[in-house]
Amino acid sequence: MSSKLHFLGTGCMVPTKERNHLSVALEHNGSIYLFDCGEATQNQIKKMKLPIGKIKKIFISHWHGDHVLGLSGLIQTLSNTDNVDKIEVYGPKNSKKYMKCVLNSSFFESKIPITTYEFDPKDDEVIEIIKNKKITISCAKLNHSIDCLGYSFKENDTLNIDIEKAKKYGITQSPVLARAKLGLNIEHNNKIIQNKDLTYKKEGLKVSFIFDTRPCNEIKLLAENSDYLVMEATYIYETHKNKAEEYDHMSAKETAEIALEIGVKNLIITHFSQRYKDVKDIENEAKETFENTTSTHDLMTLKLKKN
């Protein structure tokens, strides 16, 4: 099944007519993973006709309003949506306290359990927060004015059968090949065949989400070699470098330099300051350093593929 990124909001502190507060949905294998939930996110979900009931996990980068003001409404809707049996919210230190405030902000009747998980990574530490047979989701701390996390979503690598190698051993369609895909050596014609002689590794898709931050080593540790890096480019370096430094954000040039340094395949920039009516100049600045850059707009969908 194909994976997609849906950009529900691409603005920052102040929403505009064209840009909602930040929120990105990753659709993968029948589930939707939501990264940040700015004001009116659920309206954007409806505009894009996404199956809202497939959102079970919400990842919060930090608790500035433009990244979370849509949580209350979305959770209320999810808690009354068929086929949603639970909601999980992941975020930085103190997320449990803030979620309690969200749920106490109005009369809130939820029919399903809502669980909040909070993480406080150390410097230069990457924490795996979800790991199963198919995917691994990790987080690391970023360099922002309050506790802030970046996230990476990684399909687990798999072993595939090299058909030509199998034929050399006289193995075609055989149940023993299923054992090889599990990483095991197999026996055939009274001989032990090493797993490495029959298989090759297929690397899984990696998508990283780096929102509000200044440059830091944790970005590299978390997002290195991503197929897609979704990252803020709030300002134009040439004209507002001082603003980026003052408010702990990134310029397009700085974002592109990081993408180049850490070996990502595709840079997707978002979280644009409301001062820019047209973000073409932001995109052009990033492309001067990292050619494979795409700027985002609200209600945009991007199909993903392993590079």
Residue 273 buriedness (CB in 10 A; 0-12 / 13-18 / 19+): buried
- How much is the pLDDT for 190? 83
Closest of 138, 130, 143, 88 to residue 113, by C-alpha: 88
Closest of 132, 135, 131, 138 to residue 152, by C-alpha: 138
Closest of 291, 244, 259, 5 to residue 283, by C-alpha: 291
Could you tell me the residue ranges of all domains in the chain?
3-157+204-304, 159-199
pTM, whole model, 2 decimals?
0.92
- How much is the pLDDT for 173? 67
pLDDT digits (tens, 9 = 90+) for 69-122: 999 999 999 988 988 999 999 999 999 999 999 999 888 777 789 999 999 999
Structure confidence at residue 180 as a pLDDT band (50, 70, 90): confident
- How much is the pLDDT for 97? 98
Structure confidence at residue 223 as a pLDDT band (50, 70, 90): very high
Pairing of strands 266-270, 228-232: parallel
Helix (H), strand (E) at residue 107: none
If you compute the radius of gyration of the chain from its CA atoms, what whole number of angstroms results? 21
Our measurement of the distance from residue 299's CA atom to the centroid of its chain's CA atoms, rounded to an integer in Å, reads 17
CATH fit for domain 3-157+204-304, picks 3.60.15.10, 3.30.9.10, 1.10.3720.10, 3.90.78.10: 3.60.15.10
Kindly state the average pLDDT of the residues 232-236: 97
Using DSSP, state whether 252 is helix, strand or coil.
helix
- How much is the pLDDT for 166? 80
Q: Annotated catalytic sites, by residue? A: 66
Kindly state the average pLDDT of the residues 271-300: 97
